[in-house]
Chain A
Amino acid sequence: MDMILGVPIAVLAGQLLLGVINGAFYALLSLGLAVIFGLLKIINFAHGALYMLGALTTVVMFDAFGVNYWVSLFLAPILVGFVGVLIEYFLLRRIAHEDHIYSLLLTFGVALVIQGVLTNIYGVSGLRYSMPDVFRGGVNLGFMFLPYYRAWVIVIALLVCFGTWFMIEKTKLGSYLRAGTEDSQLMQGFGINVPLLVSLTYGFGVMLAAFAGVLAAPIYSVSPVMGGNLLIVVFAVVVIGGMGSIAGAVITGLLMGVIEGFTKVFYPEGASAVIFLVMVIVLLIRPSGLFGKEA
């Protein structure tokens, strides 16, 4: 078998694919962060908790009401997105004109409260959520066994990412959004309800996090602490991609998934640090990030 640095190529091909799948999660989450930061200049530290809320809502709705996976895929992001709108309306709006650090601290506090309360109720061992029947099993690609569900994750995640980018960069609604946050007084003069636009934008970013949470529910242990560690990684992804760059967040997310995947083969001990190493290097060479506009 052909080898690269003592690792069979077949194994590397498998890791590449898995890296892209994990990267799709990073992309979805960092996309939400980038939308919220890019348009609203809010550093949303509650993103991990809202991702967890998406997963937990899926499990709880199934246990209590038998709500199936497909319904959850729509319903959970809407419910959690509504929570996001409430957070924006009652809390974030009050500090909208303050420095970024205030929104960071506020959302961090909100995340701790959500996580703490739910830990008290559900514990941390993880809740069970069965794989939907259509996704059971997988296909043998020759170099690896690919579970159907992982294939689904990558397809749907990339579709959602592309749709979001298209909506913000290419549609009229997107142009309102961008303009509204650029010069809100002028837009208000044109008769556009900017505060509503801001609430909905935050809610949309939160929906993306919750959507990633629903996708995660069948494959990861669903517990109130699941978002905490992921959040820091996703922030690093956003920083590497360039704060606020929509396309940058998606491409960097996929790239970091792959880099992390290869690290797990060549130097597993470093897998949790490699993204931060990349972040340090990028910040040194290009402080505005790979895709960020020069400040």
Chain B
Amino acid sequence: MTIMKKLLTSAIASTMLVGGVQAEISDKAVKIGYLADMSGTYRDLAGPNGEVALKMAIEDFGGEVNGAKIEVVSADDRNSPDVASSTVRRWVENENVDLVAGLVASSVSIAVTDILEQNDRLGIVSGSAASSITNEHCTPNHIHYVYDTYPLANGTASAVVKEGGKEWFILTADYAFGHALEADVTKVVEENGGKVLQAVRHPFPTSDFSSYILQAQSSGADVVALANAGADTTNAITTAGEFGLTQSGQTLAALLLFLTDVHALGVESAQGIQLTTGWYWDMNDDTREWADRFYERTNVRPTMVHAGIYSSTMQYLNAVKATGSDDAQTVRKQMMETPINDMFATNGKIREDGRMVHDMYLAEVKTPEESENEWDLYKIVRTIPGDEAYRPLSESKCPLVTSK
């Protein structure tokens, strides 16, 4: 009996001890580093307004967690993995940054997550597209929150193939994101009985697409797919219009379009384009209410990335509060155990590979007659359930999943 008692008390004591060590917030502050392209091609889809979204979350949370102050630092990665790496190294090694948020260009995210793993800090990727971030490049130190190339391919490409576009020409941005998207699209097209005739990789960024559009026209493909993003995509769409690509019977599929891109193109030139998105501001009362508050501060409507930054920061802070710790593994585990129900996602869940799985939407750009104002841009055609949208764990190459 006494032995049992002793064992029991020592067990309790040791759990408390372990808990006691973990349950504390280092240096009495939770420090979030916001890293994004603040001045280049991807500025508008995340950029300075992403920092606004991040600060909205902190404000709504109350500015502190369990008595520890929440601080924000931010930097411009200029879409350069080198700049990003040195910034994040400084943040985690000298400035005690606990969480790196934002993370837009896929090449930047892949470089940064390596450093986070070496230093055991947490990163939440909101802007990047490459599905490889939670596949071959997965780490136990990051979460990929908003979308990735797998559902983009799954949503848009499968819809276009089913409408009869069997032969494809893919125009790919020549870096990690474009390659991942091209691979995911090729897979979807082939699985649905289509064929990729040619894939051409263009330098990032490119301003003149006329040469590539001409190649696409002479390829004889039914579908010309754009596996690029931002200004590259809008430039390519404008040039395709100028060269009469769709008039000659080819379908143009933009695989990644953000609200800000469609806004820049205008409904006149973008009408009818189908795209896959993780979120749209005008879906329900919750999304509209948040988008209105965002609009008051920024004068623009939020992209899915802005909304994702807000939502993921909220999830993170809730997890820090619940566990009383800012230790990366403790917080990530708590985030994985908590379903996400907010203005961004319904029943979203974070898997062990770091992928946040939630419903995606196939949208179509409204016509000038349908669109009531400059931000009234999409109609949602179909909701793609999360489990169907994202790469199933059975296909995963992530060591965190396969080693189980």
Contacts and interface: CB of A to CB of B under 8 A. Distances in A.
Contacts of A219: 238-239, 242
Interface stretch (B39-47, B87-95, B378-386): B39-47
Contacts of B42: 124
Interface in A89-142: 116, 119, 123-128, 131, 137-138
B311 interface: no
A268 B43 contact: no
B43 A221 contact: no
Contacts of A116: 39
A271 interface: yes
B208 A269 contact: no
Contacts of B44: 123-125
Contact of A150 (B202, B210, B234): B210
A261 interface: yes
B13 interface: no
Nearest to A216: B207
Interface string A262-275: 00110011011100
A84 B378 CA distance: 43
Contacts of B238: 219-221
Contacts of A264: 202, 211-212, 215
A15 B211 contact: yes
A22 interface: yes
B20 interface: no
Interface in B205-264: 205-208, 210-212, 214-215, 217-218, 230-231, 234-235, 238-239, 242-244, 248, 260-261, 263-264
Contact of A131 (B47, B208, B242): B242
A8 B215 CA distance: 11
Interface centre among A14, A19, A125, A144 (most CB of B within 10 A): A125
A74 interface: no
Nearest to A129: B238
Nearest to B242: A147
A223 B201 CA distance: 24
A225 B266 CA distance: 20
Contact of A124 (B43, B174, B217): B43
A221 B243 contact: no
Contacts of B242: 131, 138, 147, 149-150, 219
Contacts of A19: 211
Given A125-B231, A145-B248, A265 B39 contact: no
Contacts of B208: 22, 220
A21 interface: yes
A271 B210 contact: no
A61 interface: no
B210 A21 contact: yes
Contacts of A127: 264
B83 interface: no
A225 B39 contact: yes
B265 interface: yes
A10 interface: yes
A18 interface: yes
A230 interface: yes
A71 interface: no
Contacts of A18: 210-211, 214
Contacts of B263: 125
A269 B182 CA distance: 15
Nearest to A227: B207
A268 B200 contact: yes
A29 to B, nearest CB: 12
Contacts of A167: none
B203 interface: yes
Contact of B264 (A144, A221, A268): A221
Q: How large is the interface on A (under 10, 10 to 19, 20 to 34, 35 or more residues)?
A: 35 or more
A11 interface: yes
B197 to A, nearest CB: 14
Given A125-B234, A150-B210, A272-B203, A11 B39 contact: no
Interface centre among B205, B207, B234, B239 (most CB of A within 10 A): B207
Contacts of A261: 211
A226 interface: yes
A286 B81 CA distance: 36
B214 A126 contact: no
A223 to B, nearest CB: 7
Contacts of A220: 207-208, 235, 238
Nearest to B208: A22
B202 A268 contact: yes
Interface in A28-59: none
A272 B231 CA distance: 16
Nearest to A270: B203
B243 A15 contact: no
Interface string A250-261: 000000000001
Nearest to B261: A125
A16 to B, nearest CB: 11
A51 B91 CA distance: 37
Given A11-B218, A226-B207, A271 B244 contact: no
Interface in B175-212: 200-203, 205-208, 210-212
B266 A221 contact: no
Contact of A14 (B202, B218, B230, B261): B218
A230 B207 contact: yes
A261 B215 CA distance: 11
Contacts of B265: 128
A80 to B, nearest CB: 19
A221 B205 CA distance: 12
18 contacts: A21-B210, A22-B210, A119-B39, A124-B39, A124-B47, A125-B263, A128-B264, A144-B214, A144-B217, A145-B243, A145-B244, A219-B242, A225-B39, A229-B207, A264-B202, A264-B211, A264-B215, A268-B202
Interface of B: 39-44, 47, 174, 200-203, 205-208, 210-212, 214-215, 217-218, 230-231, 234-235, 238-239, 242-244, 248, 260-261, 263-266
Given A125-B261, A137-B244, A221-B207, 7 more contacts: A124-B42, A124-B230, A126-B234, A131-B242, A219-B239, A268-B202, A268-B203
